[in-house]
Structure 1
């Protein structure tokens, strides 16, 4: 009975949810700058009678206490936009902020969780336990979840659940497979030191450009020749700054890249190998190397029991045909910091629709969502919370 009430509430508030998403889309705020967004969320939850508090500097945590005692389940949505220029110039709700855009769907995550909060608030007397709503800043810089955890976001929480809208799978599909979902995402920086000089006299120099170029080529064998082929990993060089002038042999070279994998031991191994490869490559040419390795997000590993429960909830709410088996992505997600503290899982809700041109990759300037997918996401949030607290 309550399942149908929740479903109906989501449908009745669908237009408002879309309006909220469009408002947030047109007013994007970057990581740690979500001042207006978080205030809007705080005011909305407060109006629903949900006890909430702000976290430093731009997060919001709400607690909906049910009419009966029970467990606590947390639902998380992220709120930040990206430094991306919107290319969907014909949208009536296009970004009003040049160079800023909700190019990853966080506007829809926020709107969906607010809609779920409204549906659950309407039946709070029947809820056995507490639903915690986590509206998180700064996911795009992989520091928001950690800050929320440090400020008590998952204290006394029994289970945590999150959703990401996903343009790569069909609208309305739900993917939540046990095991790896998102990879760990780290940054590394390498500085190579040579000896500069005139481009016409290479014998008196140590060319940092040659050192850096050799490293870029050689470092790929860390994955192809030192790691178990059954452990997926990616080492990508995304940035290289070398030299100052066409006829000067470079004395310095700076390289930046990223490492992605799912296994902790593989992660440790790659970090050590980057130092070995950098030092030895530089030594061959007579130069030196220093490596800075910055650990970002952990891998998102869905708990088996939780993920299977999400599948059960989705199947009952939307039909078994809604379940989709999406392969793990090498993308990063700081939802992992919640899973380090409590059990839970992270689901993908499809919004890809070729007819509506919503299959663009996340972080692209033409990214957009099929708004019909939002009802699925909002209901999944609410139905999961209700099912978990009553199981």
Structure 2
């Protein structure tokens, strides 16, 4: 891939201020490393919340802690319930979101001084990078606002518990994160993409992800006489095999609705037909309308198959998150911002992921877009993935994300 530096030069500072100063870049790297060393799980991010709040207050801003106790909202400029007003009339206020929680896995990196100091806790999904980038953008935009150069107000959202289903986005929304907001943007680390590059896609960029628990019950009995009872093992096996097949014929194949089992459990002895069986898995869906229909479809399919074997059913369908569906106009705003900062070759098209992301809850209410942030060291041919204990990033990505956000705010 051609280096971003080889493309036409980006917009000059007089035309588009908001580049990241070198002194602040060093501070942000230090902030990210400190956060990386002290990971906190969802709804427990008290240290991170205090650190973000302290730094924003030092910049003269007035962050507000969410009602849930962790996470913050911070406005740059005045934002009313109807959003910001420019000389041209009402214009949508832009919100920039970062997530602050970590994962319950050990940090297995070696040879880095910022390795996690908390046992079985790690920032293995890049939320420390997301948070640092939003903080950095906020500091740059606050300075522009003081100098009268910020065209419209901006809201920073530091969200807790992205990794906790159904996601801390709902707590942020409940605390007023979207009041007065017209558009919202975010990034997510992508270890398959070189630092310096962002991946963009209009439309669905992630999948819905829900959890399904099924319990079957019967009277039990002796394996010598299955005809006198409910053969629960056969029943649960038929549910496991037939329900996904039924769904494949009851929804449009283009919706990408996929039910995959992760656990099946029943019985304790070879000659005893059990009284109880359990089955659990995940439901992923690429298309929003099919996701809304999925619970009813699955309940009906489970009941239909189980009834053939006279098994009683209990279905627990736990909503996770809908798919992130990027708005085409906001995606184009991110494209324009990245081109302005780093040039056309600093963008690539990205594919839809089957992973879930609670940024989708914001997009149920306002248009927005999420970009894939490249974090792989350029030239590194190794294969990396998220949610691994050895996950790390090229910290050049922090500057890229900060300037993507600031350019979007200046162009919005």
* Cα deviation, residue 178, structure 1: 1.4
Report the Cα distance in structure 2 between the residues aligned to 1:333 and 1:215, rounded to whole angstroms. 29
The structural deviation recorded for 1:379 is 1.1
SS of the residue aligned with 1:195? coil
> Are 1:45 and 2:56 an aligned pair?
yes
Q: Does 1:156 align with 2:167?
A: no
* Residue of structure 2 equivalent to 1:119: 140
Structure 1 SS opposite 2:403: helix
CA 1:64–1:265: 2 relative to 1, 3 Å: closer
| Residues 167 and 358, structure 1, Cα contact 8 Å, conserved in 2 | no
User: What is the CA–CA distance in structure 1 between the aligned matches of 2:34 and 2:382, rounded to whole Å?
Assistant: 19
Q: Does 1:324 align with 2:348?
A: yes
CA distance in 2, matches of 1:60, 1:3: 31
Aligned to 2:121: 100
CA contact (8 A) 2:247 2:298 kept: no
Paired residues of 1:177 and 1:308 also in contact (CA < 8 A): no
Q: Which moved more, 1:107-116 or 1:187-196?
A: 187-196
Q: Which has the larger displacement, 203-212 or 21-30?
A: 203-212
Query: For residues 131 and 270 of structure 1, do their structure 2 counterparts lie closer, same or farther at Cα, with a shift above 3 Å needed?
Result: closer
- SS of the residue corresponding to residue 109 of structure 2 reads coil
Pairwise mapping of residues 284-299 of structure 1 onto structure 2 (< 5 A)?
284-299=308-323
Unaligned 5+ runs, structure 1: none
Give the number of equivalent residue pairs.
Answer: 386
Does residue 1:337 correspond to 2:361, yes or no? yes
Q: Higher helix share goes to which structure?
A: 1
The aligned residue for residue 27 of structure 1 is 38
Q: How does 1:201-216 map to 2 (within 5 A)?
A: 202-216=226-240
Question: What whole-Å deviation, never above 9, does each CA across 1:124-151 have from its counterpart, x for those lacking one?
Answer: 1211221111000011113311111111
- Deviation, structure 1 residue 223: 4.4
What TM-score, normalized by structure 1, do the two folds share?
Answer: 0.92
What's the counterpart of residue 78 of structure 1? Answer: 99
Distance 1:191 1:137 in 2: 32
Contact preservation (8 Å) 1:197, 1:248:
yes
Cα shift at 1:88: 1.6
Task: Give ranges in structure 2 of 5+ residues lacking alignment.
Answer: 1-12, 79-83
Distance 1:79 1:116 in 2: 15
Deviation (angstroms), 1:195? 2.8
Paired with 1:309 and 1:218, the residues of 2 have a C-alpha distance of 45
CA displacement 1:282-335 (0-9 Å, x = unmatched)? 222221212122222122111111111211111121110111111111211111
Assess, with a 3 A threshold, how the Cα gap between structure 1 residues 2 and 183 changes in structure 2: closer, same or farther. farther
1:1-391 equivalence runs, <5 A: 1-2=13-14, 5-9=17-21, 11-55=22-66, 56-65=68-77, 70=86, 71=91, 72-124=93-145, 125-141=148-164, 142-199=166-223, 202-353=226-377, 359-388=383-412
- 1:61 offset after TM fit, Å? 0.7
Query: Could you tell me whether the CA contact under 8 Å between 1:351 and 1:370 is conserved in 2?
Result: yes
Cα drift, residue 87 of structure 1? 2.0
Question: Comparing 334-343 with 221-230, which one deviates more in the overlay?
Answer: 221-230
